[in-house]
Amino acid sequence: MSFMINANLPIWIDLPSNPSIDYPIEQIRGWIGVPDSGERLEIFYDDFSTAAARNVRPDLIGRAHIGFSFFLDLPTMVGAGVTLEDTLLLKLRQGAVTIGELNLPVSRSVAERCRKILENREQKATFIARNTKRPLNKVPGCRAPSALPKNWPISACLKDKADVASAHDYGAVIWKFLESLGSEAMILDAGAGLRRMPARNVINLDIYDYPSTDILAVGQDLPFKDNTFDGILSIAVLEHVNDPFLCARELVRVVKPSGKIFAIIPFLQAEHGYPSHYANFTRFGVRELFKSAVELEDQFLERSNLPIFVLNQILSTYTYGLPEPTRTEFLQMTISDLLSRSPDSYIDSRDPIVEHLDNETQWLIAAGTTAIFRKLP
C-alpha cells in the first residue's frame, strides 16, 4: 500500500495491516504529520466523501500529528455506479487543501462481494420493516434506519466518533453456531460493531452507523417484535450496556421459542469502552443474566478468552502506563521477582513501579473500586 503525501509529510497506516483492500467494507486508520488546525479531515473518491473521525493517539499528543480513522463503504459506491478498478485513489483533504493521496490496491473479488452485499441489504431492510414493533427514524448523516431512544446522547455518525471501532471477524466457533441454525435462519448480531463482510442472514445492530450496520438501536430497548429471530449473537457487548440484565431480557424476548443465544462476556479484562465499560461477569454471573427464561445448553472457554490473554493484556497495560526509566526497570523484572513479594507489601510501598503508574492506567486495571454515594434530597 502506498501513501503519497505533498511536501513529503510523514504518514503511518496502522490498519489494514495487509497491502490491499480484501473486504468490501474496511477501516483505514493511522496518523499524518500535519499540525492540528481544528479543521476536519475528509476523504474523497471522485464525488464521494467521508469525514474522518479523530483517532485519539496518546503517543502523538503534543506533536504536530493528527490521528485519523475512516471507513470505506465500497458497496454503496458500487451501488451508485462506481466501477472498481485495480486501485482506489483517495484524496485526503483538510478544509479546502488536499494534503495527501492514498493509493489502495483492491482485490479482484471485492466487486462481486459488493454486489452480494447490496442484494442482502435490500432483503434485510424488508425483514426489518416487517418485524419492528414501532416506526423507525432517519438520523441526519446516517444510512441505517434508527430506533435509538429519544434524546440518545451519543452521535451515531462516524464523523463524530473518537474511539476505536470494534471490528473483530467471526471466529470458527461463531461460524459453527450460525451454521447450526440452518441456512434459512435469521440471526440478530446485537452490538455488531464493524463487519467487513456482513453475513447474508445476520441483522447487524449497533449504536454507530458503520457501513455494515443494518439498524441503529440499543440492546436495552430492541425495536423488534417478540419471537423474531432464530438466533442471537451478543459478542463482548453486555459489559458495555448500563443495564445488562434488562438487555439480556430483551435478547430473550426477541428470540423464538427454542431459538439460541450465543453470548461472550469478559470476566478478567482491562477497562475499555465502546462507548463505556460497566461490568465484567464470572461464569456464574453469565448464567444469572439469562436464567429467568432460558436453559444453559453449554458453557466453555473460547480460545480468545484463555487466561494467557488476561496476563498479556494486564501486563501490557501496566507496562505502557509507566514512564521511562521505570518502564524499562519493570520490563527487566522476572515473574519470580513479581511473585516474590506479597501484594500487601505494596500498599505502603514507595516503589517506583507502584508510585509512577499513570493514574488513568490504574483505573483501567484496578483490583477494585471504592465509592461513596449521597442520596439526593
Which grid coordinates are listed for 159?
Answer: 464523523
Which grid coordinates are listed for 224?
Answer: 423488534
Contacts for 176 with CB less than 8 Å, ≥ 6 apart = none
C-beta pairs of 168-175 under 8 Å, 24+ apart in sequence:
168/193, 168/235, 168/236, 169/195, 169/196, 169/197, 170/199, 171/302, 171/303, 171/304, 173/302, 173/303, 174/233, 174/235, 174/262
| Calpha distance 38→47 (Å, rounded) | 23
Give, in degrees to the nearest 5, the angle at Cα 21 between 63 and 12. 15
Neighbouring CB atoms inside 10 A of 279's CB total 14
The domain 111-303 is placed in CATH, from the list 3.40.1350, 1.10.10, 3.40.50, 1.10.4100, at 3.40.50
| Calpha distance 141→156 (Å, rounded) | 9
| Calpha distance 68→13 (Å, rounded) | 10
Query: HSE (CB half, 13 Å, CA atoms) of 89?
Result: 5
Domain boundaries, the chain: 2-108, 111-303, 307-364
Each of the 377 residues of the chain gets a pLDDT tens digit; together they read 444 444 356 677 777 877 678 999 998 888 877 776 777 778 888 878 876 776 666 666 556 677 788 888 999 999 988 888 888 888 888 777 787 777 888 988 999 999 999 999 999 999 999 999 999 999 999 999 999 999 999 999 988 887 777 778 899 999 999 999 999 999 999 999 999 999 999 999 999 999 999 999 999 999 999 999 999 999 999 999 999 999 999 999 999 999 999 999 999 999 887 778 999 999 999 999 998 778 999 999 888 889 999 999 999 999 999 999 999 999 999 999 989 988 888 888 888 999 999 998 998 999 888 776 765 78
Whether the CA torsion 287, 215, 254, 247 is positive or negative: it is positive
Contact predicate 28/167, CB 8 Å: no
- CATH topology for the 2-108 domain: Immunoglobulin-like (2.60.40)
pLDDT in tens, 280-335: 999 999 999 998 778 999 999 888 889 999 999 999 999 999 999 999 999 999 99
Q: What is the DSSP letter of 154?
A: S
Look up the pTM and report it: 0.88
